[in-house]
Amino acid sequence: MGKAELPLHAPGTRTDRGYIGRSMPRPNAARLLQGRGAYVDDLRFPRLAHVVFYRSPYAHALIKKLDFKKATQAKGVIAVLDGRAVAEYCTPWVAVLGHLKGIKSPPQHAVAIDRACWQGEAVAAVVAETRAQAEDAAALIEAEWEELPAVIDMEVSLKGTSIIHKELGDNICFARTHDTGGVDEAFAQADLVVEETYGFGRHTGVCLEGRSILADYNAAEHSLTVYHSTQAPHMMQDIFSRHLGIPEASVRVIARDVGGSYGIKVHVYPDEMATAALSVMLRRPVKFVADRLESFATDIHAREHRVKVKIAVKKTGEILAFDMDDLTAIGPYSVYPRTSGIEGNQVVNLTGGPYKHQKYRGKLNVVFTNKNVTCQYRAVGHPIAVALTEGIVDKAAAALKMDPAEFRRRNLIPDDAYPYTFPSGVKFERLSHHQALDMLLNLMDYKKLRQEQKEKRKQGRHLGIGLAAMIEVTNPSPAFYGVGGARISAQDGATLRLEPTGMVTVLCSVTEQGQGTEGIFAQIAASAVGVSMDKVKVITGDTGVTPYGGGTWASRGAGIGGEAVLQAGRALRSSILDVASHVLGLAKSELEIKDDQIVHLLTQLPKLALSELGRIAYFRPDTLPMNFQSELTVTRHYTPREYGFTFTNGIQASLVDVDVDTGFVKLLKHWCVEDSGTIINPMLVDEQLRGGVVQGIGAALYEECLYSPEGQLLNGNMADYLVPMSGEMPDIICAHIETPTKQSELGAKGVGEAGTAGAPAAVMNAINDALAPLGAQVTAMPFTPERILRALKRV
């Protein structure tokens, strides 16, 4: 399967991929390299006020009294408000969706009223002239609390002896069981049943730029402009409009430079809603930037799971069935508007992903706890599904004394089996598992590594090799959220405009947080129209300017936004040639656009510069035929329709050296083979994979939000919460396969989350591969030295 044939131009013309497939440097990186970007905290506004939130020190408590007297009199203070005051300007929300049957959650306010349900929940807002003054004043608030029992442990929560929201009857936010039927029979027929329980530590995104929002209400117009570090400006426009009572078109949300997001900034945060409400209330711009300690306590957490899994296998190595039971702990509220049921739902959908078994049972319980809220974070559910699948697969292979690569080869869905419906109900258009496995084993020189491992073992060195095959959800249709009633758009649009000087402006509803969205749109637009890339300017992240769309999430930017840009580019090209045809007196079919010129198709001779065409179309239309109107601004939209999710596949490998005396794991190398369809910019794909892999390594070895039994966050700072730094990370070797999707002309699938989805599994399998000869294994992430030493019985 070679590179995709990409028909960029009308039939009959020379096929030219233009910039597509080339590792072009990103134009918008230039300003970031000089510190000349525009993050929300960089913006300056007259009368800008700062808000700081007074937060609950308890995991669960009634707010008996809040005394603002001293705080209100502090220097620089503009207002001190409680939840009821803010509620007059912002209505509460309930984060449930219709397609998650039975999901329940109580209403949540922007600032808590009467009761705080997690340590860090905002219970009052202090607005002042400077942030420091607001913090000074917040320290003067006097509060009386009545502590309530805090539900912290997920098993305890499930038991329901103490119910957090009495009106709900239990602590279950969402439960689901998927059963193909025939599962018990399959287990009865198995030659071997292997089971294990895997634990996944709660962790969080740690975006270097804290959550940031600057809301600017214009009282005269009853309009609101919000500068927001967000992935989904249109979604936020809808939410600000509905909850603050401002007409939709009078709300403008602008996301300029965003300092990292990874899903953290695609959710609705009560403190951010409060900030917007305060701007309306106080009739002046108000800014909130979550500082690092607040971030740890209130940015969404994710991935706290305990999963039991069983695999039924024949002695040939054939997998007959998976049976999985997932318990996951969220916070006291489901998060708006995407719900906190999705992550667990994904685990049910994706367990066993790459394999061709037919029988499957997956059970899910999502329970409330009095810890911070959780919601979608890069690779949502995949890291858990892939780790539990690939972990139990390795265990089964070991039990059969079969090489793990060989075991996978016997079970991966064949490359010619598509389209394919998976036991959980998801449909695959076309994947390349076997091709990917072959490529990986070749890339890493698997045989040689196994040999090296054997030799090093004789010297007392414990190398481990771990594999992780995976599938990945990308380019979702409305099946993800829309069908459940969420006003989250799965369609996106691109407007392309030829400027008089021959430049092309691209306005697109998909957004940029550093992954390179604007760069690839420039590549696609330039290729589709026929201009050089430096003539293209891309604008994203402004609801007042771009078409309506979903923004960035679930790895949809390239596949969905890119296709909209491509179609608009082709349409603009056609419109330009209409004008050229009239100007030159030649048939449209004899003309082409290349390198900023109208050229004669056959001779390739330049006939008319685009800058000249622009001059004529905009300033001298009197020279064009009477009944002709040039339309040099075109808009096209795109929605993936055929498949609910466009699945991709990949496979990763990790090579580690475990120090069995200290329990320290040295990451020697990592490989990632990924099939994400048409690749627009290989360098950007590699960098998405690498960044994602390191985030996954963080989950596997370092990161966990640690709570005391009373629900106090113990390590909510950068010294105690361990994020991966450069000193310990391996080089990551990437390779690509391109199996384009036929749902679009571009054929691009998504790739932003793949690295994070597979890395934890690969590292876990590598550690266990290293420990196997010593009779030890680890199953609970993160794999700290403590956990490894205990597994080795050294402690």
Partner 1 sequence: MEHALDITLTVNGTRVRHRVEPREHLIDFLREKLGLTGSHVGCEHGVCGACTLRVDGQIVRGCLMLAVQANGCRVDTVEGLSDSKELARLQKAFHEKNALQCGFCTPGMLLAAQDLVLKNKKFTREEIRQHMSGNYCRCTGYQAIVDAIEEVVNG
Partner 2 sequence: MAGKAAGKAAGAALKAPAFAYAKPASLAEALELLARPGAKVLAGGQSLIPSLNMRLSSPELLVDIGSIEQLKHIELKNGAIHIGALVTHASLETSETVRKHVPLLAQAVPHVAHAAIRNRGTLGGSLALADPAAEYPAVAVALEAVFEIAGKNSTRRVGAAEFFKGLFETDLKAGELLTAVEFPVAKPADKSVFLELARRNGDYAIVGLAAHNDRFVFLGAGDRPVQFSFRNNLEEAKANLEANLKPSADLYHTAATKLHLAGVLLERAWNTR
- Closest alpha carbon to 125 in 13, 232, 277, 244: 277
What is the maximum span of the chain, computed from C-alpha positions, in angstroms?
Answer: 89
Nearest approach, Cβ of 204 to partner 2 (angstroms)?
13
According to CB under 8 A, which residues from 30 to 69 bind partner 2? Answer: 52, 54-58
According to CB under 8 A, which residues from 122 to 151 bind partner 2? Answer: 131-132, 135-136, 138-139
The binder of 732, among partner 2, partner 1, none, by C-beta within 5 to 8 A per type, is partner 1
How many residues contact partner 1, by CB under 8 A?
56
Instruction: Determine contact, residues 348/425, Cβ cutoff 8 Å.
Output: no
Nearest approach, Cβ of 712 to partner 2 (angstroms)?
5
- Closest alpha carbon to 9 in 562, 591, 522: 591
Inter-residue long-range contacts of 162-168, CB under 8 Å, 24+ positions, other chains counted:
164/60, 164/117, 164/332, 164/368, 164/369, 164/370, 165/106, 165/332, 165/368, 167/106, 168/104, 168/106
In the DSSP assignment, the letter for residue 570 is: H
The binder of 265, among partner 1, partner 2, none, by C-beta within 5 to 8 A per type, is none
| Per-residue contact flags (x/-) with partner 1 for residues 176 to 215, judged by CB under 8 A | -----------------------------xxxxxx-----
Q: Exactly one of 443, 722, 733, 772 binds partner 2 (CB under 8 A); which one? A: 722
Strands 61-67 and 142-147: antiparallel
Nearest approach, Cβ of 487 to partner 1 (angstroms)?
27
In the DSSP assignment, the letter for residue 412 is: B
DSSP string, 759-787: HHHHHHHHHHHHHGGGT----BSS--HHH
According to CB under 8 A, which residues from 726 to 755 bind partner 2? Answer: 727-728
According to CB under 8 A, which residues from 749 to 778 bind partner 1? Answer: 755
Q: Find where tokens 């029992």 sit.
A: 149
717 interacts with partner 1 by CB under 8 A: yes
Q: Exactly one of 5, 144, 291, 455 binds partner 1 (CB under 8 A); which one? A: 291
Measured in residues, the chain has a length of 795
Q: Which DSSP helix (H) or strand (E) runs through 323?
A: strand 319-329
Nearest approach, Cβ of 702 to partner 2 (angstroms)?
7
Map residue 54 onto helix, strand or coil: strand
626 interacts with partner 1 by CB under 8 A: no
Q: Nearest-5° angle of CA 57, CA 61, CA 64?
A: 100
The identity of residue 399, as a single letter, is A
Map residue 249 onto helix, strand or coil: helix
The binder of 294, among partner 2, partner 1, none, by C-beta within 5 to 8 A per type, is partner 2
H helical segments located in 501-561: 517-529
Task: In whole angstroms, give the CA distance from residue 326 to residue 320.
Answer: 20
- Of 122 and 490, the one with the shorter C-beta distance to partner 2 is 122
The binder of 188, among partner 2, partner 1, none, by C-beta within 5 to 8 A per type, is none
Q: Exactly one of 5, 195, 661, 731 binds partner 1 (CB under 8 A); which one? A: 731
Task: In whole angstroms, give the CA distance from residue 263 to residue 300.
Answer: 9
The binder of 785, among partner 2, partner 1, none, by C-beta within 5 to 8 A per type, is partner 2
Task: In whole angstroms, give the CA distance from residue 278 to residue 284.
Answer: 8
Instruction: Determine contact, residues 175/366, Cβ cutoff 8 Å.
Output: yes
Where does this chain touch partner 1 (CB under 8 A) — which range of 343-351, 511-519, 555-563, 616-624? 511-519
Task: In whole angstroms, give the CA distance from residue 354 to residue 760.
Answer: 16
25 interacts with partner 1 by CB under 8 A: yes
Partnered with residue 355 across adjacent β-strands are 412
- Of 284 and 378, the one with the shorter C-beta distance to partner 1 is 378
The binder of 702, among partner 2, partner 1, none, by C-beta within 5 to 8 A per type, is partner 2
Task: In whole angstroms, give the CA distance from residue 233 to residue 541.
Answer: 6
209 interacts with partner 2 by CB under 8 A: no
Question: Is the link from the previous residue into 782 a cis peptide, with omega within 30 of 0?
Answer: yes
Nearest approach, Cβ of 131 to partner 2 (angstroms)?
6
Q: Nearest-5° angle of CA 269, CA 251, CA 544?
A: 115
According to CB under 8 A, which residues from 27 to 66 bind partner 1? Answer: 29-37, 39, 41-42, 44
Nearest approach, Cβ of 701 to partner 2 (angstroms)?
8
The binder of 69, among partner 2, partner 1, none, by C-beta within 5 to 8 A per type, is none
Q: How many CA atoms lie within 13 A of 111 on its CB side?
A: 28
Straight-line distance from the first to the last Cα atom of the chain, in angstroms, rounded to the nearest whole number: 52
717 interacts with partner 2 by CB under 8 A: yes
Where does this chain touch partner 1 (CB under 8 A) — which range of 116-124, 260-268, 300-308, 611-619? 260-268
Q: Exactly one of 693, 735, 763, 792 binds partner 1 (CB under 8 A); which one? A: 693
Partnered with residue 44 across adjacent β-strands are none
Task: In whole angstroms, give the CA distance from residue 436 to residue 672.
Answer: 9
- Of 75 and 641, the one with the shorter C-beta distance to partner 1 is 75
The binder of 687, among partner 1, partner 2, none, by C-beta within 5 to 8 A per type, is partner 1
The binder of 513, among partner 2, partner 1, none, by C-beta within 5 to 8 A per type, is partner 1
Where does this chain touch partner 1 (CB under 8 A) — which range of 56-64, 241-249, 719-727, 780-788? 719-727
- Of 459 and 726, the one with the shorter C-beta distance to partner 1 is 726
| Per-residue contact flags (x/-) with partner 2 for residues 297 to 316, judged by CB under 8 A | x-------------------
The binder of 37, among partner 1, partner 2, none, by C-beta within 5 to 8 A per type, is partner 1
Q: Exactly one of 729, 772, 774, 789 binds partner 1 (CB under 8 A); which one? A: 729
The identity of residue 557, as a single letter, is G
- Of 148 and 293, the one with the shorter C-beta distance to partner 2 is 293
What are the b/e assignments for 78-110, b being 16+ CB within 10 Å?
A: bbbbbbebbbebbebbebbbebbeebbbbebbb
Q: Nearest-5° angle of CA 161, CA 163, CA 164?
A: 145
| Per-residue contact flags (x/-) with partner 2 for residues 660 to 689, judged by CB under 8 A | -xxxx-------------------------
Task: In whole angstroms, give the CA distance from residue 399 to residue 622.
Answer: 81
**Cα-flanking dihedrals φ and ψ of residue 328, to 5°?**
-135, 140
Task: In whole angstroms, give the CA distance from residue 375 to residue 97.
Answer: 14
Instruction: Determine contact, residues 750/743, Cβ cutoff 8 Å.
Output: no
> How many contiguous H segments (helices) and E segments (strands) does the chain have?
20, 30
542 interacts with partner 2 by CB under 8 A: no
Where does this chain touch partner 2 (CB under 8 A) — which range of 212-220, 529-537, 595-603, 782-790? 782-790
Q: Exactly one of 161, 316, 603, 726 binds partner 1 (CB under 8 A); which one? A: 726
| Per-residue contact flags (x/-) with partner 2 for residues 609 to 648, judged by CB under 8 A | ----------------------------------------
In the complex, the residues that contact partner 1 under the rule CB under 8 A are 25-26, 29-37, 39, 41-42, 44, 132, 205-210, 257-262, 291-292, 513-516, 683-684, 687, 690-695, 717-719, 723-729, 731-732, 755
In the complex, the residues that contact partner 2 under the rule CB under 8 A are 52, 54-58, 119-120, 131-132, 135-136, 138-139, 291-294, 296-297, 661-664, 702, 706, 708, 712-717, 719-720, 722, 724-725, 727-728, 784-786, 789-790, 794-795
